[in-house]
Structure 1
């Protein structure tokens, strides 16, 4: 269910707060009375978003998802239903009933069955890997043994190594380490902005690594555990790069070092790692466009990721951030995803209300900017099908 990227999937303006007399009715009106009227919106909203753009977004949703059916309340927002799917929405009104905030989230397509859900993944350009396991048996697969770049989903390997060390009594969740400057990486995350020497438990590092995909937290744990210990879980990724090392290698200013690294074997690559530690991080803006040095990544098959997430699925930190998973649709969930320009992976380990255990891992790579919202939409639709299976 592709939504035009120029609309960025969202129409978001938050400029005023107040009472909300009837947000559900205001949302319904947008789909039942056309065209939208300027008097429905606050002046501050209209300064940012013209009425014509509101109509354009709604028309695009209807073109992709079919006839409008209705609106219902869900959690802290609403869901707009269509013939072919539904769209979570957030709306806020001022005390006079004018719309001050309007947000349409990633659509959740409604598929007729598993085969239709899988068809969308097959049609994607580039390389795609998908694996659906049900109670340990393969229910569906698309190149499930092909290693592809998975972004921050590699942090599942670090968490497995940590959990193994804790169970063996070598470390403890309550163990405290002081934040070191050499651990600081680029966002995502928050720890890169914390003061050096801040005391942090291993549990906090792990929770931030999984829930916020905090790069500094993952590099800290990689250092505490030791690269060789984590590599027992990292498959072909040897040496397993820290996020800081990967960012430095991707920096165009270090192109010569990158060429040496790519030509080297594993032993020679390990010898180059101290050189990376001496170089500064590139600016974060380097990674806001298209793919940068895609050869420098973490490569896992979806089958490997299913094994990794199953090993830590029962840890409570795995459910802090459910990602595209709808918690109410599942009895229990564990989720980790990863992305960078040209790369996206979504991996979940789920227990249905019928008692079935699923792993659903999907990866997409291409040498251009990906329509991540479309991929997430396909994944969400697949999960809805699985949640209803008996």
Structure 2
């Protein structure tokens, strides 16, 4: 089980530009000063020249440093600039220029259909060639939450989405689309494990408690760690949430107790817990999805809660990670309507609100991986994230505090039993929604 952000991030560091080559980090050295400085004449000049470099071919050798062009050859740069024009129209004007130092800052370029943000870094020595350029996001012209909602609703398959302001009287919905539909959410279920850990850490446990790693599960850094390696609950939680490590989540599920994690669904207001209980470990879920275990899957799907619990106990030797043929479940959507972790967008917002109020150290764990590009995440005072994905399933769940102190939660799910998903597309849509909300 992997996190949608983890699988999509490599191809969406360019935020609104999913077709571009991922991770356009170009040797950026950021020297942040306590307050924004006025752009130096050299920096301002390079910012103004960026408009021409983006608008037409030619002049790249006189604009970019040799170091930059070794990392991003001219032909590749021209393809990137052309893709930007195809996405957003012609570049029309220089927008805001904000500097963190004499050599580094942020530049906005206004295109016909969007404003695209860049991190721009210039060499300190004349002629101040550009040594770093990083696309950090795009704001669609005349964008709105309603437009984002319409695009989410139009995605192939089925989708659900909700944004709410979190208040003393509970979540207050701002936008919803099928917010009560029970959707497959992938690794989003790990938020319930995090919530149970936060509850336990307020009394009978401590975040610093050490337990042995195991049982292990496929996919994740900890799979290759020594068996029964000693780990703190905090370290396991961080790996589970920030990296969506399956061994960490299965270890915590066993250590905390499945029955207690199951109870967290009722505590946080899940509307249809019977559909999802008992909470499956990642190894159990993918073992049940395997064609070789079709007999177990049919029994599990048809069984009562007691039957399901009994099957997991009796068939445990067949449901371990070492028995999973990953190739048989990794390429096409498999049993996403029955062997899954189900929740509605409204359920997930309730869970995020519970974590806001009772999570304690869980909030810092949630904030390690913000789920969207760092430049967009910085629009918020706090941003916590957990998503999930597998073939045919993607979900994104965000807890955010605005600069004015108001709290929000957003949850999106996308299911398609017939095809894999274009995951960067949902990341881009969620980024747009959060940027609009931050404004």
TM-score range normalised by the length of the shorter chain:
0.7 to 0.9
Deviation at 1:302, TM superposition (A): 0.7
**What SS does the corresponding residue of 1:133 show, helix, strand or coil?**
strand
Structure 1 residue 240 and structure 2 residue 279: aligned?
yes
What is the RMSD of the two structures over their aligned residues, measured on CA atoms?
A: 3.7
Shift of 1:265: 3.0
Quick check: 1:185 aligned with 2:217?
A: yes
Q: How does 1:276-315 map to 2 (within 5 A)?
A: 276-277=318-319, 280-282=322-324, 284=326, 289-295=331-337, 296-313=339-356, 315=363
Deviations 1:185-204 (A, max 9, x none): 122x3211111121111111
* Bigger mean CA offset, 112-121 vs 353-362: 112-121
> Partner residue of 1:371?
422
User: How does the TM-score come out when normalised to structure 1?
Assistant: 0.82
Given that 2:190 and 2:240 are in contact with CA atoms closer than 8 Å, whether structure 1 keeps it comes out as: yes
1:272 shift after superposition:
2.3
- Aligned twin of 2:54: 31
- Equivalent position SS for 1:329: coil
Alpha-carbon distance, 1:304 to partner? 0.6
What is residue 395 of structure 2 aligned with on the other side?
Answer: 345
CA distance 1:127–1:361, change in 2 (3 Å): same
Residue 354 (structure 2) pairs with residue 320 (structure 1): no
Question: 2:38 maps to what in 1?
Answer: none
Counterpart CA distance in 2 for 1:298 and 1:269 is 14
SS of residue paired to 1:239: coil
Equivalences, count: 382
Q: Is the 8 A contact 2:218 2:321 kept in 1?
A: no
Number of the residue aligned with 1:152: 187
2:305 maps to which of 235, 258, 266: 266
TM-aligned CA distance change 1:260 to 1:338, over 3 Å: same
The superposition leaves residues 154-201 of structure 1 with CA deviations (integer Å, 9 ceiling, x where unpaired) of 11111111111222x221111110113xx11122x3211111121111
After superposition, residues 96-115 of structure 1 pair within 5 angstroms as: 104=135, 107-115=138-146
Q: Distance in 2 between matches of 1:154 and 1:174?
A: 23
Contact persistence 1:312–1:318 (CA under 8 A): no
Higher alpha-carbon deviation: 38-47 or 193-202: 38-47
Judge conservation of contact 1:106–1:377 (CA < 8 Å) in 2.
no
Deviates more, 1:98-107 or 1:27-36: 98-107
Determine the C-alpha separation between the residues in 2 that align with 1:297 and 1:125: 20
Query: What is the alpha-carbon distance in structure 2 between the residues aligned to residue 73 and residue 291 of structure 1?
Result: 45
Whether the 8 Å CA contact 1:109–1:378 is kept in 2: the answer is no
In structure 2, the partner of 1:200 is: 231
Contact residue 343 and residue 370 of structure 1 kept, 8 A: yes
**8 Å CA contact retained: 2:217, 2:282:** yes
In 2, the alpha carbon distance for the partners of 1:250 and 1:24 equals 53
Contact conserved, 2:184 with 2:342, CA < 8 A, in 1? yes
Gaps of 5+ in 1: none
Structure 2, unaligned stretches of length 5 or more?
A: 1-13, 30-41, 266-272
In 1, Cα distance between equivalents of 2:263 and 2:142: 39
Aligned to 1:141: 176
- Alignment equivalent of 1:85, drawn from 87, 110, 114: 114
**Equivalent residue for 2:8?**
none
